Structure 1
Amino acid sequence: MENQFQWDLWKRLTEAPGVSGFEGPVRTIMRDYIEKYTDEIVYDRLGSMFGVMRGDEAGPRIMVAGHMDEVGFMVTGVSEKGFLSFQTVGGWWGQVLLAQRVHVITPAGAVEGVISSIPPHVLSDDQRNRPMDVRNMYIDIGADSRHEVEQAGIRPGQQIVPVCPLTPLVNPRRLMAKAWDNRYGCSLAIELAKELKERPNHPNVVYVGATVQEEVAGTRGAKTAAGLIDPDLFFALDASPAGDIPGVQGGGGKLGGGVLMRLYDPMYMMPTQLRDFLIGICEEENIPYQIYVAKGGTDAGVVQYHGAGVPSAVIGIPSRYIHSHAAIMDRDDYEAAKRLLFAATRKLDRATFESILPR
């Protein structure tokens, strides 16, 4: 890997546990990096965190955010025989869960486990022909009793995360890991802070960091973070499902096709002037981009409603198999998104911002 800084950043972020509501380890990593680039860091009361990069105070106030949280699970109970019951946190499809490795995160560290599955040899015909309900799944940590589970430090309310180390694939541009949705955005936010520290003459004030609790109903951290920052403009940094795999008909970006230009989702429509501004940058800078219409939402859907309205855009990438244990992204898409974000931030002075407002 030619960029050791980037590789180390991706490895730390993707392998850290951070289910919605349990983002502390990811926030610590982000703070470790961002405090190298600014000594002004702000937090909302749910745990969203931003470094403040002060350029021209007369310019617009720009909020740039990934989200720290990943989909995962929570311990809800322990049986007498030592099996853990659990609650999904965020959007899961039950058929991607069986026989997958997990870590139960305790104060003493991670405890290994696997989501229960029944071998085919003992399944009835009826069981074979229908998916198992998540409510009938359990986590096996190899314990024989509730007492053994408690001795391991496990209690109801603890987070459970998928296991998938950062791994280069046959094409080394393709990287597999858990939680590209949305440690991609966390990583890109950190890289923007680094860029603005090294080239500080930007025509605006940038709040760059990440929100919490995006994966649960209400995209909650985005609401409180917008209240903290009161932005003029917002860039959400998020990964979306790729549509280039067998069985997917239409929609979604393809790996290696460039940054996703999200025009519409059920919570959001990109403002036309902002769309033209971003596409113009892509075409001027020869940045590959893909038009994208989404079925799911992002933090942009919430931040746009703050105050008198906040023009918002999603600077995204496609990722295969999000909301599962193992996702895949393409480094070329990441680089395209980074180039667009850096260029847009450099160009957004007060006059340019005013030009993208509806009049």
Structure 2
Amino acid sequence: MPENHNHPGAEAGHGDSPALAHLRHLVRLTGPSGSEEDVIRAVHHAAAALADHTEVDAFGNVIAIRRAASEGARRVIVAAHMDEVGFRVRQITPTGFLRLEKVGGTDDRILPAQRVWVRTQQGRLMGVIGTKSAHLLTDTDRQRIVPAPELYVDIGARNADEAIGMGVHLGDPVGFVGVLTELGQNTGRYTAHAVDDRAGCAVMLALLERYQDSPPPVTVIFAFTVQEEVGLRGAQAVASAYKADVALALDMTAADDTPELGTCHLQLGAGPAVKVMDFSTMAHPAVRRGLIAAADAGGIAVQHELLRGIGTDAGALQYGSQGIPTGAVSVANRYTHSPVEVVDERDLSGALELLDHFIQRLPDLDLRFVALSDT
């Protein structure tokens, strides 16, 4: 059943860029890995009016194809994932509380006292992850991180029958609450949950809009994937089903420009990052060269990402066919996998420009891993 999104703060902001407008809508939805139905509906609805062909595959991936004018043009897959980290209802206790099973990499330190949506077949229920009242804490409590299996969600039910009467069933998805909100005043920096990677989906929809009236020089297969947070599973299905000359993932990456880190390898507002390596992939040198050349040609500031603690759909896409030259464009994101992720609109705009410039130059890009001598 489609969710009711008519709650305060969900309205589009005045003067939103196309990507930000899409992001504002997408972060309102609850879609942990394996439960992306509402996000799939929203993305499919937006993409269907812009693409030559749109489908939802058996896995749940939304595929939107914008064909080049030339029949024999190159093909590129651009992928961003729709799912978010979250939970499933593991148990309904006799007293009406809900125990959770984690879905994806959430941090136990930040979970108590968070608001969450419990998505039932009838709609969403507001709940809170309970935490012991400050007046009741012992010295041991103050030094202890409560492990996820001990956490519970309070939906106001007095007993299990009341919770079940509200429509709760075992396995129902649970996700953080949030709407896209600008930090400070006129900063261009926005916070919400599920920015990872609804922001990537939003940029891809904005890119599709650019090609609405005139086709791109290559056929672009826009893959809005599922289950990235639990093992790049949706992207594996895409890599098996669609042949392409090049593949790109568009995802968030962890900014390290806050006071407790201060290393500033990846900073908000310094431009999108061209991936060099992570634990899931080593960027293909030809694709990386092409992205850097596109950035230079477009006057787009970029960063360079080397981060072993992260993976993206690129890690699955590279195994398509006999191997696809694959790279990734990343956008720095603070406080990843939390309800208060923060992204800079300038980085989203830069990612949009970088992808467009790369696609425009792709027909002539040398995709060889290395140029070999004839002698």
TM-score norm. by structure 2 comes to 0.91
Equivalent of 1:76, from 87, 90, 115? 90
Deviations 1:185-235 (A, max 9, x none): 1111111211122221x222111131100001x210000011121222111
Is the CA contact 1:251–1:292 (under 8 Å) kept in the aligned structure 2?
A: no
Offset at residue 241 of structure 1 (A) = 1.2
- Contact 1:319–1:328 (Cα < 8 Å) also in 2: yes
1:124 aligns with 2:138: yes
Name the CA distance, whole Å, in 2 between partners of 1:160 and 1:358: 50
Please name the residue that 1:10 is paired with.
Answer: 23
1:300-327 alpha-carbon deviations (Å, 9 max, x no partner): 0111122211111111100111101111
Q: Alignment partner for residue 235 of structure 1, among 229, 243, 248?
A: 248
- Matched residue type, 2:246: L
Select 1:181's aligned residue among 196, 213, 223.
196
Q: Deviations over 1:100-145 (max 9, x none)?
A: 0001001111101100101222122222112111111100111110
Deviation of the 1:355 alpha carbon: 5.1
| SS of 2:347 mapped into structure 1 | helix
> Contact 2:239/2:319 (CA < 8 Å) preserved in 1?
no
Please give the per-residue CA displacement for 1:236-292, whole angstroms capped at 9, x wherever unaligned: 110111111111253641110000111011121112222121111112211011111
Give, in whole Å, the separation in 1 of the partners of 2:253 and 2:130. 29
Q: Which residue of 2 aligns with 1:257?
A: 270
* Residue 354 of structure 1, CA deviation: 3.9
Q: 2:244 aligns to what SS in structure 1? A: coil
1:225 to 217, 235, 238: 238
Q: Quote the residue 1:330 is aligned against.
A: 344
Alignment of 1:76-95 (within 5 A): 76-95=90-109
Residue 65 of structure 2 corresponds to which residue in structure 1? 52
Q: Aligned to 2:56, which of 43, 51, 62?
A: 43
- The unaligned stretches of length 5 or more in structure 2 are 1-13
Q: What is the distance in 1 between the residues matched to 2:326 and 2:277?
A: 12
Q: Does the 8 Å CA contact 1:168/1:174 hold for their aligned counterparts?
A: yes
Q: Is contact 1:190–1:209 with CA below 8 Å preserved after alignment?
A: no
**Residue identity opposite 1:258 in structure 2:** G
Tell me, yes or no, if the aligned pair for 1:277 and 1:356 is still in contact at 8 Å. Answer: no
> What is the aligned partner in structure 2 of residue 206 from structure 1?
220
Query: 2:284 matched to 1:271?
Result: yes
Between the two proteins, the alignment pairs up a number of residues equal to 356
Cα contact 1:261–1:291 (8 A) shared by 2: yes
Q: State the partner residue of 2:316.
A: 302
C-alpha distance in 2 between matches for 1:85 and 1:358:
57
Whole-angstrom distance in 1 between the partners of 2:267 and 2:190: 14
CA shift at 1:57, angstroms? 2.5
Q: 1:42 offset after TM fit, Å? A: 3.1
The question of whether the paired residues in 2 share the 8 Å contact of 1:168 and 1:175 is answered with yes
Structure 1 gaps, min length 5: none
- Distance in 1 separating the partners of 2:72 and 2:236: 25
- Give the direction of change, closer, same or farther, for the CA distance of 1:39–1:282 in structure 2 (3 Å limit): closer
1:99 partner SS? coil
Distance 1:43 1:226, change over 3 A: farther
Aligned residue in 2 for 1:114: 128
Q: 1 CA distance for matches of 2:161 and 2:47?
A: 42
Letter in 1 for 2:48: E
Letter in structure 1 aligned against 2:348 = Y
Determine the C-alpha separation between the residues in 2 that align with 1:355 and 1:268.
Answer: 17
2:371 and 2:194 map into 1 onto residues whose CA distance is 36
CA contact (8 A) 2:273 2:305 kept: yes
Q: In the alignment, residue 196 of structure 1 is paired with which amino acid?
A: Y
Distance 1:358 1:148, change over 3 A: farther
The CA distance in 2 between the partners of 1:50 and 1:358, in whole Å, is 33
Please tell me whether residue 67 in structure 1 is matched to residue 81 in structure 2: yes
Q: Specify the alignment match of 2:4 in structure 1.
A: none
Moved more, 146-155 or 232-241: 232-241
Q: Does the CA contact (< 8 Å) of 1:192 and 1:208 recur in 2?
A: no
Residue number in structure 2 paired with 1:98: 112
Cα distance in 2 for partners of 1:264, 1:209 equals 21
- The TM-score normalised by the length of structure 1 is 0.95
Moved more, 151-160 or 307-316: 307-316
Distance 2:184 2:195 in 1: 18
Q: Which residue of 2 aligns with 1:318?
A: 332
Between stretches 103-112 and 241-250, larger displacement belongs to 241-250
Cα shift at 1:44: 2.6
Partner residue, 1:340: 354
Deviates most, 27-36 or 121-130: 121-130
Partner of 1:194, secondary structure, is: helix
